[in-house]
Structure 1
């Protein structure tokens, strides 16, 4: 395991990660932040494998993403044609994560949400609002909010456009882009820059 990888991990998790990577060695590359994903697993045409992880993740999100991607690697080696986030991946991910579910590794405000998420893990931790919010508390201050934290009618900026927060529709908020007046759906845990409350 590279020395570079060590600085991104919770200290108490390092021996467990080393154990996994000794059994399942794979090239891991740290890359600049990508807006659409925390990490990924790739198989190249020459038969090599690679995991990439964003360099801006806090230690707990980084660890969770790393194990998520290693589970893809192990699942591919065993089954090859299984669905990317199918039953085989879920079982491997759960098996790998179980030893990490301890308060010496994850803070106690994350553990119950992480345990609940792992009962039926999805393609992205972002699908679990409670877990996402708990993990977010350990990010460096970005000045941004989750959209669900904003009051109805709040004006916010997202991708250099201004929107007004509207009503919730199932798991998303209807928001109006102020210039075009078009309505867009935002996931509850979308990160946005709060500007003001239009109702004030």
Structure 2
């Protein structure tokens, strides 16, 4: 068992800040669990699946997340697992039961006082009024994003001016008005409008 834990700890060093590895491993070994590092997914950063047949609890986390985002996303998914174990499958995915579990699992991380101050402040604020995830808590998402690897060609959509053109994937858009957490953007070639996350990384097009 100890040899297995050491192997997992060694593998996790490239994904999670080292001071939190023991805590995450303790959560892993508390239940029968399959924990997997996933290829990047556009629609989600992590995923939890309950036991089915002979399959144990399953958690997968995107391997391209920065260490702090990986840590928080992992705890997010463990909160889903704990909620399932304690309350079964018939509670809301991010209802009060999940929120209580998420808060409980985050407190040891905060109490260790090893996180960067901007993330600590954002998490403390988040715990006052928990959102479904770091992706819907704009302050926490912004704090976590500052630790992503930088690409000089990319800029956050919220930092562009209204009507400025930008590339996202293979398409060219024009930024419009902000609607809650997303900008209404027009795809230049088709004229269709799409809601794009304000923290999306896009390539600005500077018109001469």
Scaled by the length of structure 2, the TM-score of the pair is: 0.86
Paired residues for 1:46-125 under 5 Å: 46=53, 47-80=55-88, 81-102=90-111, 104-125=113-134
C-alpha displacement at 1:191, in angstroms?
A: 2.5
CA RMSD of aligned residues (A): 1.9
- Is 2:26 aligned against 1:16? no
C-alpha displacement at 1:146, in angstroms?
A: 1.9
C-alpha displacement at 1:103, in angstroms?
A: 7.1
- Is 2:193 aligned against 1:183? yes
For residue 100 of structure 2, give the secondary structure of its aligned residue in structure 1: helix
Q: Is the 8 A contact 2:168 2:203 kept in 1?
A: yes
Q: Is the 8 A contact 1:113 1:130 kept in 2?
A: yes
- Is 2:158 aligned against 1:155? no
Q: Is the 8 A contact 2:76 2:133 kept in 1?
A: no
In the alignment, the residues of structure 2 paired with residue 24 and residue 98 of structure 1 have an alpha-carbon distance, to the nearest angstrom, of 20
In the alignment, the residues of structure 2 paired with residue 68 and residue 189 of structure 1 have an alpha-carbon distance, to the nearest angstrom, of 20
Structure 1: runs of 5 or more not aligned: none
In the alignment, the residues of structure 1 paired with residue 63 and residue 91 of structure 2 have an alpha-carbon distance, to the nearest angstrom, of 29
Q: Is the 8 A contact 1:6 1:14 kept in 2?
A: yes
C-alpha displacement at 1:31, in angstroms?
A: 1.2
In the alignment, the residues of structure 2 paired with residue 195 and residue 118 of structure 1 have an alpha-carbon distance, to the nearest angstrom, of 38
Q: Is the 8 A contact 1:90 1:120 kept in 2?
A: no
1:104-144 deviation digits (Å, cap 9, x = unpaired): 43101211111111223222211122221211111112343
Structure 2: runs of 5 or more not aligned: none
Q: Is the 8 A contact 1:162 1:178 kept in 2?
A: yes
Scaled by the length of structure 1, the TM-score of the pair is: 0.89
In the alignment, the residues of structure 1 paired with residue 112 and residue 27 of structure 2 have an alpha-carbon distance, to the nearest angstrom, of 20
Q: Is the 8 A contact 2:185 2:194 kept in 1?
A: yes
C-alpha displacement at 1:172, in angstroms?
A: 2.6
